[in-house]
Structure 1
Amino acid sequence: MYRYTEFDKAFVRSRAAQFRDQLERWQDGRLSEDEFRPLRLQNGWYVQRHAPMLRVAVPYGELSSAQLRVLARIARDFDDPDPEVYHAASVAQGKLGTERLPTHCAHFTTRTNVQFNWIPLDKSADVMDLLATVDMHGIQTSGNCIRNISCDERAGAAPDEIADPRPFAEIMRQWTTLHPEFAFLPRKFKIAISGAHEDRAATAWHDVGLQLVRDANGELGFRICAGGGMGRTPVIGTLMREFLPWRHIMNYIEAIVRVYNRYGRRDNKYKARIKILIKAEGQRYIDDVNEEFRQIVEHDGAPHLISQAELDRVSALFVPPALHIREAAFDNAELDAYAAAHPLFARWLQRNVALHKDPALRIVTLSFKRLLQSPGDATADQLDIVADLADRFSAGEARVTHTQNVVLPWVRSSELFALWQAARDAGFASANVQLLTDMIACPGGDFCALASARSLPIAEAIAERYQDLDELDDIGEIDLHISGCINSCGHHHSGHIGILGVDKDGREWYQITLGGSDGSAASGAPQPGKVIGPSFSAAEVPEVIEAILTAYRDTREGRERFIETVRRVGLDPFKAAANAARLNDEVTA
């Protein structure tokens, strides 16, 4: 993983010191609330429904064991919920009480950041100092700027990788951090990069999505899309360039952002994202970007051209672990024997273990989807355990995933059984990756001030209903995504089944969408799901999901995946099943 230089370390420490000064000036009245708000937001500090929320940047999802332990310490020592505040607010909103209150907990987001929901602002500078000791911060995790750049969690390890995207992401991170032209955009701006044949970074759903490719001559470059996004208007990114030589990628991104900065709306935040501009302007936007790029290259001398020396320099900072040295091929007979003797281990090998570019290694997913724990949540003790597992089995490195799990990217095949035993004992060995209970969910109305409805009780009710692994295996691979509001932090638009919480006259209701895709191999081409009829009450949602899955099992051909069946037969059978479930629920009531 990337090793910070002394310049990086000094920069992060100075930023933490600057924030402490800003906090102290706000506390003693030298900065007003309006003056302090943008300063705290620029460092990842929000004020949410019950308390402040900190978003910590995790570039390309990589975490060292030392960083995991500091995150655990922050959860344990600083993230301390106030049950009375939470319960009073929940009761006032007609929501659940303290039975849902997570204690000393971090949360993994769909953009591979880490959030804390209960750190008091008067402790915030202490937390930033602690993060800086392990080269972490909250810079540009908020605000109308270029946010944390995300990658495939298997970057540098996947056998289908064309080129490692992390050095490019790091060069862009250094370039965009505190860049004045990128600091006050019309709206927030997100970039994702995939370096593999399979897009595991959902690039088409980002403001800029980059796919590393090779042309007919074998030259490396980028396929560039722009204008993807979810929210009120789900849009798949528009193709800008089929191929751009890698050296010019920052010049081209500058052209994209300059045109957006020039013409993007600032009078209406709901119409300020780049997706709205590109949707409105179409080819004219593409032409303007290409002309801007031509001028940057020809008139300005391509100021952001990446040299081979610079790429080599940054690539060398992604120090491959000692485990990456090839060893003699592991005798699979021993692994087969363990699998034959332990059926749960065999399931885990099938669902949670992926091939590695080094035949002696494997990529292992630790499932953070367990009953009575919200998707993506990790307690302080669990973070410490993951740090221990990373040290013991993965050269001290873990990765946060787009699906709110954790990956160990450097596991020896010969140690898979030992890892499974340790993960099982810690509660991370559920063999449910890519199955129904491996769902994505945002914190929703239990925490978020923007949410229209709760997402966590819905996730819990569905998970509780589907605990039988045989049934989950029979249903097969399926993406279930839940958002508590139209901002789509739970990525409901890209779920094979999407659930969106909405508010109707102060009551929580839920829209169901079907047929969405994030662009992964299992999902096919990226596309937003389509709403199937009127919204449902919270009590109806589990019944509706069960009815939809029953319709799928009755309609599928062979081992056809859910998304394949939906695309083959259309939405009508599922609409009928959902409406029948509503009627049955009304009759029962």
Structure 2
Amino acid sequence: MYRYDEFDAEFVNSRVAQFRGQVERRLDGRLSEAEFRPLRLMNGLYLQLHAYMLRVAVPYGTLRTDQLRMLAHLADKYDKGYGHVTTRQNMQFNWPALSDVPDMLSDLATVDMHAIQTSGNCIRNVTCDPYAGATADEIEDPRPLAELIRQWSMLHPEFSFLPRKFKFAVTASPHDRAMIKGHDIGIQIVKNDAGEVGYHIIVGGGLGRTPVLGETLCAFLPKADLLPYLTATMRVYNRFGRRDNKYKARIKILVRDTGIADFTKLVDDEFATLDVNDTAVSQEECERIASYFEPPTFDTNIKAIDLDSQPEAFRKWVATNVAPHIAPGYAIVNISLKNPERAPGDITAEQMRAVADLADRESFGEVRTTHQQNMVLPHVRQDALRAVWDGLVAAELEDANINLIGDIICCPGMDFCALATARSIPVAQAIAERFSDHDRQQAIGEMQIKISGCINACGHHHVGHIGILGLEKSGVEFYQVTLGGDATHTAAIGDKMGAGFSQDELVDGIERIVDFYMGERSGSERFLDTYRRLGTAAFKEALYAST
């Protein structure tokens, strides 16, 4: 994990002091809201529908346990006792008082955390595969790459005032768990035919009102060229990206309008002008960063757990929430934050502390957040799985629904967000409640529902197996459905089905889709595969069968 040095500590603390003065001037009227807005956004503070919201950076979704306990402290002291894990692996607090925010930032600084670049037209938090460093299917741990990009982009003088916000995602696995094709730039660590490790660079992805999957900018980039090549790409975007229309300002629009071939030439031409010595990072520096991510010392003498002797609920949890680990005798534990009684992604302060305690005892003091709005204990001994489950049961975090229909991604919607046009949280809860029976969820199998409360698509509905978009017309909320989206290595934008539904009609419609799929699938075929085999028309007919 990233280690603060003296410069980082001094800089973050000075930023806190600066913002404290800015807040004081806002509170006493010396700054108007319009004048205060760019200042608060530079510190991760939004003004939502009912209150301010503070978004705390969690670089590549990796947390130490003291950091998670600090987030619990903030939830208890300054908020309503809970936090919210976002689809960029960050943590949001939805109810802070403006006067308390400088104290929150000061507290965060004591555990090497901040809220810088979690908002504004800059390079945002770099997201990553939550299984990084723990899964056998990766070429190498992608977190050193994510950290290198984080350090390079932090307050970069050229890229702090871009035409629009900019998002990176990285992975090192052929099975994409970071949704790299849905980002402004996605990076996959790959090997070429000679066995050399380098980077596959994807550009121009993004969701929102214009959903686009990224295209290959460079199929194989040598490691030494990474930062110069990214610098060239960002310079092209900074130079030619639209600044006159925020809806056309993302790099995806520039790539679309320019064409990938011409855009690639612009990048290559800019890259050719760079003095690599001014922009590249030395091998020694890369090794220094990589040393932060040395794997823990794994025990090589672990007895296998006898699942047959365990309770049925525990066996179901293991089958659903536990993934294979690269080290023999260990496992990756997914912690679902998708209980129908809570908003998807919400976690209480008490639960944060419980997860921190489990991580200290059973996962080398490390916790991950995921863009699916869940958490991960990356390194758990298999003979400790029962103890972890018992701890999760006590914390009411034992839901066994990872990648099932109850594991719904959902934005805050109109319950919080000033941009939202419809509620999304009640819809997610209604669907989760309808399909709450675990055996039914298991029978349905992999099913990813993603819900957004407006066209900005913070809930990633475009890439949901079932995507739901909440809209408003004449004061009435309604919900449009897309089918066939995919956020993995076989990425796809979902197909729009037709007229929207009320909330009650929507849940019934989802049930008709599920029932149709269950009746038509071949053997244990996944929903996505059945949809691709049968096509849109058949599922659309089932969706609207009773309307």
**TM-score normalised to structure 1 length:** 0.91
Which residue of structure 1 lines up, in the alignment, with residue 284 of structure 2? 309
Quick one: which of 427, 445, 449 aligns to 1:476? 445
Q: How does 1:229-308 map to 2 (within 5 A)?
A: 229-282=206-259, 283-296=261-274, 300-308=275-283
Amino acid at match of 2:420: A
SS state at 1:130 partner: helix
The residue number in structure 2 matching 1:358 is 327
Equivalence map 1:424-463=2 (5 Å)? 424-463=393-432
Q: Does 1:37 align with 2:37?
A: yes
Give, in whole Å, the separation in 1 of the partners of 2:299 and 2:356. 24
Alignment of 1:199-214 (within 5 A): 199-214=176-191
Task: Provide the residue aligned with 1:404 in structure 2.
Answer: 373
Q: Which residue does the alignment assign to 2:164?
A: 187
Corresponding position: 1:538 with 2:515: no
1:161 is paired with a residue whose SS is coil
The alignment status of 1:127 with 2:104, answered yes or no, reads yes
How big is each residue's C-alpha offset from its partner over 1:116-147, in whole Å with a ceiling of 9 and x where there is no partner? Answer: 11001111101110110111111000011111
Aligned residues of 1:3 and 1:319 also touching (Cα < 8 A): no
**Which residue of structure 2 aligns with residue 331 of structure 1?**
303
| Distance in 2 between residues matched to 1:27 and 1:318, nearest whole Å | 43
Q: Deviations over 1:424-474 (max 9, x none)?
A: 222212211110001100110100000010001100111111111111111
**Aligned partners of 1:243 and 1:269: how far apart in 2?**
32
| Other-structure match for 1:57 | 57
2:541 is the alignment partner of 1:576: yes
Give the Cα separation in 2 of the matches to 1:159 and 1:12: 36
Residue 83 of structure 2: SS of its match in structure 1? strand
TM alignment of 1:488-507, pairs within 5 A: 488-507=457-476
Alignment partner, residue 587 of structure 1: none
**How far is 1:177 from its partner?**
1.0
Deviations 1:201-235 (A, max 9, x none): 00000000000001111111100010000001110
Matched position secondary structure for 1:303: helix
Choose which of 353, 370, 390 in structure 2 pairs with 1:421: 390
SS in 1 for 2:49: coil
Code of the residue aligned with 1:307 in structure 2: it is S
Provide, for residues 88-110 of structure 1, a one-character-per-residue CA deviation record: whole Å limited to 9, x for no partner.
Answer: xxxxxxxxxxxxxxx42200001
**Which of 84, 87, 92 is residue 110 of structure 1 equivalent to?**
87
Report the CA distance between 1:319 and its aligned residue.
Answer: 4.8
C-alpha displacement of 1:21? 2.1
Q: Does structure 1 conserve the Cα–Cα contact (< 8 Å) formed by 2:467 and 2:494? A: yes
Q: Which moved more, 1:28-37 or 1:125-134?
A: 28-37
On the 8 A contact 2:453/2:471 being kept in 1, the answer is yes
CA contact under 8 A between 1:477 and 1:561: conserved in structure 2?
A: yes
Deviations 1:224-269 (A, max 9, x none): 0100000011100011000001111111111111111111111111
Instruction: Tell me the amino acid that sits aligned with residue 320 of structure 1.
Output: P
Q: Which one of the candidate residues 511, 517, 520 is aligned to 1:555?
A: 520
Moved more, 190-199 or 31-40: 31-40
Structural mapping, 1:380-395, within 5 Å: 380-395=349-364
Contact 1:186–1:266 under 8 Å retained in 2: yes
Give 2:54's aligned amino acid: L
Instruction: Confirm or deny: 8 A CA contact 2:317 2:400 kept in the other structure.
Output: yes
What SS is found at the alignment partner of 2:357? Answer: helix
Taking only aligned residues, the RMSD between alpha carbons, in angstroms, comes to 1.3
Residue type of the partner of 1:510?
Answer: Y
Aligned mates of 1:222, 1:118 — CA distance in 2? 41
Distance 2:28 2:452 in 1: 39
- Farther off after superposition, 414-423 or 16-25: 16-25
- Residue pairs, 1:87-106, within 5 angstroms: 103-106=80-83
Please identify, of 106-115 and 409-418, the stretch whose mean Cα deviation from structure 2 is larger: 409-418
- Provide the residue aligned with 1:15 in structure 2: 15
Distance in 1 (CA, whole Å) between partners of 2:22 and 2:75 is: 23
Matched-pair contact (CA < 8 Å) for 2:354–2:391: no
Number of paired residues? Answer: 546
Higher mean displacement: 388-397 or 312-321: 312-321
Give the alignment's TM-score, normalised by structure 2. 0.98
Matches of 2:30 and 2:475, distance apart in 1: 39
**In structure 2, what is the Cα distance between the partners aligned to 1:158 and 1:527?**
24
Amino acid at match of 1:331: K
- The answer as to whether partners of 2:228 and 2:276 remain within 8 angstroms in 1 is no
* Runs of at least 5 residues in structure 2 that lack an aligned partner in the other structure: none
Q: Does the 8 Å CA contact 1:340/1:346 hold for their aligned counterparts?
A: no
Between the aligned partners of 2:63 and 2:276, the Cα distance in structure 1 is: 37
Are the equivalent residues in 1 in contact too, given 2:463–2:485 (CA < 8 A)? yes
3-state SS in 1 of match to 2:439: helix
Q: CA deviation at 1:37?
A: 1.1
Once residues 407 and 204 of structure 1 are traced to their aligned partners in structure 2, the CA distance between those partners, rounded to angstroms, is: 23
1:292 partner letter: E
Q: Deviations over 1:306-344 (max 9, x none)?
A: 2211111111122533xx33422x332xx22x4443111
Q: Which amino acid counterpart does residue 171 of structure 1 have in structure 2?
A: L
Q: Cα offset for 1:302?
A: 4.3
- State the shift of 1:6 in Å: 2.8
8 Å CA contact 1:59–1:149 kept in 2: the answer is yes
SS in 2 for 1:257: helix
2:319 and 2:339 map into 1 onto residues whose CA distance is 19
| Counterparts of 1:114 and 1:12, CA distance in 2 | 18
Q: Distance in 1 between matches of 2:212 and 2:251?
A: 10
Distance in structure 2 (CA, Å) of the matches to 1:462 and 1:312: 47
Q: 2:303, 2:329 within 8 Å by CA — same for their partners in 1?
A: no
Q: What is the one-letter code of the residue matched to 2:289?
A: V
CA contact (8 A) 2:240 2:254 kept: yes
Residues of 1 paired with 2:382 and 2:5: CA distance? 32
* 1:476-497 C-alpha deviation (Å, 9 max, x unpaired): 1111100000110100011000
Percent identity at matched positions? 53
For structure 1, which segment, 48-57 or 7-16, has the greater mean C-alpha deviation from structure 2 after superposition?
7-16
Instruction: Look up the equivalent residue of 1:162 and give its one-letter code.
Output: I
Q: Are 2:161 and 1:178 equivalent residues in the alignment? A: no
* Separation (CA, whole Å) in 1 of partners of 2:362 and 2:517: 39
| Equivalent residues of 1:2, 1:319 under 8 A apart | no
Check the 8 A contact 1:106/1:377 in 2, yes or no: yes
Equivalent of residue 222 in structure 1, options 193, 199, 220: 199
Distance in 2 separating the partners of 1:319 and 1:357? 14
Cα-to-partner distance string for 1:529-555 (whole Å, 9 max, x where unaligned): 011111111121100000000110111
